[in-house]
């Protein structure tokens, strides 16, 4: 666990690994607001942080297990409200049925009862716009801090030029969400996996450009009569161990299929 400070923002950065797969994930606390609660496998390491930080509210950016792992513990041990987009509440109340590789990698998340987020949120010193930004997850939100002009975009960024998608992700929906983010006046972008990015607007523009380019190429090949399988082979010929490990829940075919859907 690596604790980093960026002005009044604290970042707890964790490295999770299984065999050769590695992933960095962070939770953030600012002005008494905890943003996400880390993966279940890191819960015991995060508990001392939760006890030290004077957290007053928790906002979950979406229901995925690497963002909601300690929510059950927080609800059981600290008297703090936990919020999520209304469309994610049901996912949190139920036991999460995870594919084996995600269970092994992130750990198994216990259920909890969150409250519904509105369009705006206030902490002692800040006003936050809650921006519904689906595409990575149906309940995904970004948080815009008006006073700092910082965008907390959770998993909308992660990587500028992804070559593979999860089955639950959609290129056209992510494109719409990235465009929505760019209507806000931010420069610093805070990512749950890539950390604090001071040229944040640029990286979001770059990702949007890339995905629009991919979308154009996929549609052009489909117009010429190529099958989804042939399009994937043409545009994304490389395979990655994660494709097999995930039994193709993660695969370039989801990039192509989400565009042609
Ligand atoms: Zn996620």
The tens digit of pLDDT for each residue in 129-166 reads: 999 999 999 999 999 999 999 999 999 999 999 999 99
Q: Residue 57: name the closest of 143, 140, 139, 154 by CA.
A: 143
Count of CB atoms within 10 A of residue 187's CB?
14
- How far is ligand 1, taken at its centre, from the CA of residue 52, in Å? 26
Rounded-to-integer distance, Cα 43 and Cα 175, Å: 33
Rounded-to-integer distance, Cα 165 and Cα 246, Å: 11
- How far is ligand 1, taken at its centre, from the CA of residue 225, in Å? 34
- How far is ligand 1, taken at its centre, from the CA of residue 60, in Å? 11
Q: Is the dihedral of CA 44, 48, 53, 56 positive or negative?
A: positive
Rounded-to-integer distance, Cα 188 and Cα 117, Å: 23
- How far is ligand 1, taken at its centre, from the CA of residue 226, in Å? 31
- How far is ligand 1, taken at its centre, from the CA of residue 26, in Å? 12
Instruction: Note the pLDDT tens digit of each residue in 56-86.
Output: 999 999 999 999 999 999 999 998 999 999 9
Helix (H) or strand (E) holding 48: helix 43-52
- How far is ligand 1, taken at its centre, from the CA of residue 136, in Å? 6
- How far is ligand 1, taken at its centre, from the CA of residue 106, in Å? 12
- How far is ligand 1, taken at its centre, from the CA of residue 137, in Å? 6
Percent of the chain with pLDDT over 70: 100
Phi, psi torsion values for 257, nearest 5 degrees? -65, -35
Q: What is the pLDDT of residue 75?
A: 97
Rounded-to-integer distance, Cα 126 and Cα 142, Å: 15
Cβ-contact 9, 196 below 8 angstroms: yes
- How far is ligand 1, taken at its centre, from the CA of residue 188, in Å? 20
Q: Tokens 């760019």 identify what position?
A: 182
Higher pLDDT, 218 or 103: 218
Burial environment of residue 226 by CB neighbours within 10 A (0 to 12, 13 to 18, 19 or more) = middle
Mean residue pLDDT across the chain: 96
Residue-range domain boundaries for the chain: 2-260
- How far is ligand 1, taken at its centre, from the CA of residue 84, in Å? 13
Residues in a beta bridge with 31: none
Count of CB atoms within 10 A of residue 122's CB?
12
135: left (phi over 0), alpha (psi -120 to 50) or beta: left
Q: Which CATH number fits domain 2-260: 3.30.200.20, 3.90.1170.50, 3.10.129.10, 3.60.15.10?
A: 3.60.15.10
């Amino acid at each position: 666990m690596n604790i980093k400070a960026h002005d009044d923002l604290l970042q707890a950065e964790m490295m999770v690994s299984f065999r050769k797969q590695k992933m960095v994930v962070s939770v953030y606390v600012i002005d008494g607001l905890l943003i996400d609660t880390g993966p279940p496998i890191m819960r015991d390491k995060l508990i001392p942080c939760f006890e030290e930080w004077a957290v007053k509210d928790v906002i979950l950016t979406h229901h995925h297990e690497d963002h909601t792992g300690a929510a059950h513990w927080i609800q059981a041990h600290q008297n703090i409200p936990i919020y999520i987009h209304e469309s994610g509440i049901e996912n949190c109340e139920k036991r999460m049925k995870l594919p084996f590789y995600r269970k092994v990698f992130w750990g198994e998340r216990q259920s909890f009862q969150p409250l519904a987020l509105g369009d705006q949120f206030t902490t002692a010193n800040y006003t936050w716009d809650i921006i519904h930004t689906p595409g990575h997850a149906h309940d995904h939100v970004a948080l815009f801090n008006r006073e700092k002009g910082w965008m907390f975009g959770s998993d909308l960024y992660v990587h500028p030029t992804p070559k593979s998608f999860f089955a639950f992700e959609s290129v056209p929906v992510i494109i719409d969400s990235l465009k929505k983010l760019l209507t806000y006046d931010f420069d610093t972008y805070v990512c749950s996996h890539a950390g604090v990015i001071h040229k944040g607007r640029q990286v979001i523009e770059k990702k949007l450009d890339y995905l629009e380019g991919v979308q154009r190429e996929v549609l052009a090949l489909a117009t010429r009569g190529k099958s989804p399988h042939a399009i994937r082979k043409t545009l994304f010929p490389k395979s990655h161990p994660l494709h097999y490990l995930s039994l193709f829940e993660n695969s370039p075919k989801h990039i192509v299929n989400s565009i042609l859907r």
